[in-house]
Amino acid sequence: MKTAAPRLLASLVAGLSSALIMYGIFLSDGRPFPYHNRVPDVELAYRMIPLELLIGALVGGLVSWLFGRRQASAPRSDVQERMLYRFAYRQGGVFTLPELETQSPLSAEQARQVVERLLTAGRLKQEGETYHLR
């Protein structure tokens, strides 16, 4: 739930920005600034406020959906494996599980799971409490 505030903020910023951009497009009839001897069409921009807000709401909803979709995805095991490899290389290819749990960004459970997965795959070798890269 700690990602609700950034998700809401990103959605609001994207939605309001899109609505303001649409307002500017209708105000200038889609012509880039500066346009000479042209009066901005304030009436058109005002009449199109519902459409501008609808587009802003759609963009904000899309950003919220994309942000939530990324947060809801399961943690990738290849990222955890890369963390283990990076840690192991810094240790000279030899490490213990307590070292991995305390000195790497992996949680204790993630560390145990990735070590078990790499042992099963044959990419780690265990000698007592010590693990060696293969």
Which domain does 106 fall in, by range? 77-133
Domain's final residue, options 72, 92, 117: 72
pLDDT average per 10 residues of sequence, the chain (134 residues): 77 95 88 72 92 96 86 71 91 91 89 92 91 89
Say yes or no: 60 and 16 in one domain: yes
105 shares a domain with 62: no
- The domain boundary, picked from 57, 72, 87, lies at 72
Domain co-membership, 87 together with 128: yes
118 and 90: one domain?
Answer: yes
Specify the number of domains making up the chain: 2
Question: Do 8 and 62 have their domain in common?
Answer: yes
Global model pTM greater than 0.75: no
Q: Is residue 59 located within the same domain as residue 102?
A: no
What's the CA gap between 52 and 48, in Å, rounded? 6
